[in-house]
């Protein structure tokens, strides 16, 4: 029995304490000591911003100041370029007591390497202004290039500091795409200078209180947050929702209102008014200038929930006659195709929810977010048309769904299913028959944080952490190398990091430690 315990302890000690789990790794029986006299060596000037990021993180976390130099004779952390490679995120980390070498062909890979190094410091303690870090040799690359998280700020507005905190944790777990849902029925959150009422009028209200003071991001705010994300190698993709979910915009500029239903009034933009297209083009031009992602998300979802008024609109009737359209769905597709043309002319790709699968768009410039897992036919259609796809099915990737059987606030699927940590972790595209043989079109996966039941940052924390870490490993690590029990062993030390950061997280290991907050009655407000 004693020998068995010793054996198990040894194996546990060999578990690589990094999330997401690297592709290849081996333990080295040494420690590298980081202290105030440790050199951080960069010979390539283009790598200096990454070195500064590592320097700042070591200072912030441990009050240790390393010196950025072009060369060193003593123990050092070295960042350097390696031989050409095709995977921009790939890196190699080599460690022993004499030094640390982070090498990669691309800057993204170098950044991923320093993030792994920072994760290896977790649990280490500072003694005499020095930090002893266990050594590992790691060769790593992700399964998917797109490792995404979506945040809805139309329903509730969280502000710059909360968004920056989310970006910090995304970087810590090597997530690299931030899909920002900035416009919807409750509120318009993006300043458009040509149409100031979008924010001063459309920005009034939130999901609970239609009279809440206007809350939005100025263009200077956006530039600041985009730059912050770029420092962490995170691309921000803005979503300007259309032709549905337009109520906030229609409050500000009713001339472009396409009507709605009794349940969802003023829900759509008007596809039958030529001015609508110029209005939205102006908005997209300002949006494009703020976000260098060369990708704009046009929404396109749930239009049928609120487009009944189209049947009585004379302009839409003329549009249908002119273009031989026979249904509201065809009108919707016509609208999306026109607005996609606008996006494409600005040298962007176009992205939207899976309702656009029926539209005719250029395959090499279209990205579909597949969210309706009950409609595998939309995934199949998207792939057959050659559209690239982001997998974000409601089960398991909608993070407004409850995460524990005892939780009452948030969504459950029709048969009571919810999105526990394990279901997020174990997701794989291999579970979806439509993806078989189409691997090249699957860009990656994305968690979606809708916010009808998330009125503040405290509730946001509770829904996002620790599921963000499971999402990250599902996006990075090959399915054959994933093991949920081993993952939870690596996750446990992360709870202390969440605690230190002041996050009101859900403790998977002590579910009653923090209790959920919010209003269970909000569940009834979901469209679907």
66 to 38, 94, 528: CA distances (angstroms): 5, 19, 53
Contacts of 276 (CB under 8 A, 6+ apart): 256, 258, 269, 270
Summarize pLDDT for 297-349 with one digit per residue, the tens: 999 999 999 999 999 999 999 999 999 999 999 999 999 999 999 999 999 99
Provide the pLDDT confidence category of residue 90 given band limits of 50, 70 and 90.
very high
Average pLDDT over residues 58-86: 93
Cα distance between residue 297 and residue 286, in whole Å: 14
pLDDT value at residue 520: 53
pLDDT value at residue 519: 62
**Strand-strand pairing, 235-242 and 295-299:** parallel
Cβ–Cβ under 8 Å, residues 239 and 352: no
**Strand-strand pairing, 130-140 and 146-152:** unpaired
What SS3 state is found at 505?
coil
Provide the pLDDT confidence category of residue 528 given band limits of 50, 70 and 90.
low
Sign, CA torsion 225/228/232/233? positive
Q: Which residues pair with 349 in a beta bridge?
A: 295
Cβ–Cβ under 8 Å, residues 448 and 370: no
Provide the pLDDT confidence category of residue 178 given band limits of 50, 70 and 90.
very high
Cα distance between residue 499 and residue 519, in whole Å: 24
pLDDT value at residue 124: 86
What SS3 state is found at 447?
strand
Cα distance between residue 465 and residue 403, in whole Å: 11
pLDDT value at residue 515: 78
485 to 179, 378, 404, 406: CA distances (angstroms): 30, 34, 17, 21
85 to 81, 140, 185, 233, 297: CA distances (angstroms): 11, 12, 45, 18, 30
65 pLDDT more than 60: yes
pLDDT value at residue 523: 47
Cα distance between residue 236 and residue 297, in whole Å: 11
Query: Of 10 and 369, which is predicted with more confidence?
Result: 369
Q: Which of 468, 459, 490 minimizes the C-alpha distance to 162?
A: 459
Provide the pLDDT confidence category of residue 527 given band limits of 50, 70 and 90.
low
518 pLDDT more than 60: yes
pLDDT value at residue 234: 98
399 pLDDT more than 70: yes
Provide the pLDDT confidence category of residue 514 given band limits of 50, 70 and 90.
confident
13 pLDDT more than 60: no
Any idea which of 237-241, 288-292, 519-523 has the lowest mean pLDDT?
519-523
Cβ–Cβ under 8 Å, residues 170 and 234: yes
pTM of the model: 0.95
Contacts of 332 (CB under 8 A, 6+ apart): 243, 271, 300, 303, 304, 307, 355
């Amino acid at each position: 029995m004693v020998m068995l315990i010793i054996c198990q302890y040894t194996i546990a000690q060999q578990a690589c304490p990094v999330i997401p789990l690297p592709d290849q790794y081996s333990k080295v029986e040494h420690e590298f000591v980081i202290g105030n006299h440790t050199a951080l060596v960069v010979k390539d000037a283009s790598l200096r911003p990454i070195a500064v990021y590592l320097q700042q993180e070591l200072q912030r976390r441990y009050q240790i100041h390393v010196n950025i130099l072009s060369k060193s004779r003593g123990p050092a952390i070295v960042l350097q370029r390696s031989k050409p490679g095709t995977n921009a995120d790939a890196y190699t980390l080599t460690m022993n007591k004499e030094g640390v070498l982070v090498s990669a062909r691309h800057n993204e890979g170098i950044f991923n390497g320093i993030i792994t190094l920072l994760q290896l410091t977790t649990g280490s303690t500072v003694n005499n202004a020095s930090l002893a870090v266990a050594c590992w040799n790691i060769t790593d690359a992700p399964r998917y290039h797109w490792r995404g998280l979506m945040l809805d700020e139309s329903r509730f507005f969280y502000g710059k500091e909360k968004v920056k905190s989310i970006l910090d944790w995304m970087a810590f777990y090597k997530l690299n795409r931030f899909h920002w849902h900035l416009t919807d029925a409750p509120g318009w959150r993006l300043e458009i200078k040509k149409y100031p009422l979008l924010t001063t009028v459309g920005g009034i209200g939130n999901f609970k209180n239609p009279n809440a003071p206007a809350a939005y991001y100025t263009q200077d705010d956006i530039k600041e947050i985009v730059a912050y994300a770029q420092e962490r190698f995170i691309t921000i993709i803005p979503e300007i929702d259309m032709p549905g979910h337009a109520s906030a915009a229609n409050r500000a500029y009713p001339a472009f209102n396409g009507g709605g239903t009794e349940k969802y009034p003023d829900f759509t933009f008007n596809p039958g008014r030529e001015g609508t297209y110029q209005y939205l083009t102006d908005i997209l031009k300002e949006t494009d200038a703020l976000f260098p992602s060369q990708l704009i998300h046009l929404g396109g979802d749930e239009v049928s929930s609120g487009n009944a008024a189209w049947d009585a609109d004379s302009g839409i009737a003329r549009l249908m006659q002119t273009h031989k359209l026979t249904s509201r769905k065809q009108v919707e597709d016509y609208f999306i195709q026109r607005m996609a043309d606008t996006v494409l002319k600005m040298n962007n790709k176009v992205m939207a929810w899976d309702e656009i699968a029926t539209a005719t768009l250029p395959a090499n410039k279209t990205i579909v977010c597949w969210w309706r897992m009950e409609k595998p036919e939309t995934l199949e259609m998207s792939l057959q048309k050659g559209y690239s796809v982001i997998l974000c099915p409601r089960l398991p990737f909608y993070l407004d769904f409850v995460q524990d059987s005892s939780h009452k606030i948030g969504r459950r699927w029709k048969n009571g299913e919810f999105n526990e940590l394990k279901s997020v972790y174990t997701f794989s595209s291999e579970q979806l028959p439509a993806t078989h043989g189409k691997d090249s079109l699957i860009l990656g996966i994305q968690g979606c944080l809708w916010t009808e039941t998330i009125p503040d940052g405290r509730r946001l924390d509770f829904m996002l952490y620790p599921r963000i870490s499971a999402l990250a490993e599902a996006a990075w690590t090959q399915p054959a190398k994933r093991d949920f029990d081993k993952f939870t062993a690596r996750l446990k030390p992360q709870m202390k990091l969440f605690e230190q950061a002041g996050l009101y997280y859900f403790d998977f290991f002590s579910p009653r430690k923090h209790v959920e907050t919010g209003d269970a009655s909000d569940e009834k407000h979901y469209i679907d």
